[in-house]
Amino acid sequence: MYSYEGKIAFIPGGSMGIGAAIASELAMLGAGVVLFARNEKNLRDTLHILKAFNKSPSQVIDYYVLDATDYAAVQVTFTTAIEKYGIPYFLINCIGIARPNYFEYIHPNDFDTIPESALLMLVLSST
């Protein structure tokens, strides 16, 4: 089996859903996991779960509060995380913004926000 120990994963959108599930699997396999999301309570809750899978004292399990639609914040936050943990082995973008509603009630600005958050992660990963 492949060893994930010593590898770091940055997971934007990792505080819940698919992102949290991927983070859990990687943590169980020994990878370091750094989550990025807007909701600090969700981040703390997921971090608590991930720490239960901690394989060693050197395994990184951390989070940063981040609104991925704020390009300047993305740059500063990722630069800070990279300075602290190094360049991640994995960058797994699980950002998802849902605006569930009937189509006629969805505000036109919502259509801009949804892809914008994913685009910022794409730009960041290419630099």
What pTM does this model have? 0.80
Instruction: Tell me what the mean pLDDT of segment 70-94 comes to.
Output: 93
Task: Identify any residues that bridge with 35 across adjacent strands, giving them in sequence order.
Answer: 11, 63
Give whole-number Cα distances, 49 to 7, 8, 45, 92, 100, in Å: 19, 17, 7, 19, 28
Around Cβ 17, how many Cβ atoms within 10 Å? 14
pLDDT digits (tens, 9 = 90+) for 34-50: 999 999 999 999 999 99
Write the DSSP string, 65-89: E--TT-HHHHHHHHHHHHHHH-S-S
Instruction: Give the residue-averaged pLDDT of 107-127.
Output: 56
Beta bridge partners of 65: 37
Q: Please enumerate in sequence order all residues whose Cβ is within 8 A of that of 106, keeping only pairs 6 or more positions apart, or say none.
A: 99
What is the percentage of the chain residues whose pLDDT exceeds 90?
61
pLDDT at 91: 93
Q: Where are the domains of the chain?
A: 8-125
For residue 38, what pLDDT is reported? 93
Mean pLDDT is lowest, of 9-18, 43-52, 78-87, 99-108, for: 99-108
Q: Which of 45-49, 82-86, 99-103, 118-122 has the lowest mean pLDDT?
A: 118-122
- To the question of domain 8-125 being in CATH 3.40.50.720, the answer is yes
What are the C-alpha distances in Å from 31 to residues 2, 17, 45, 70, 103?
Answer: 11, 19, 19, 28, 41
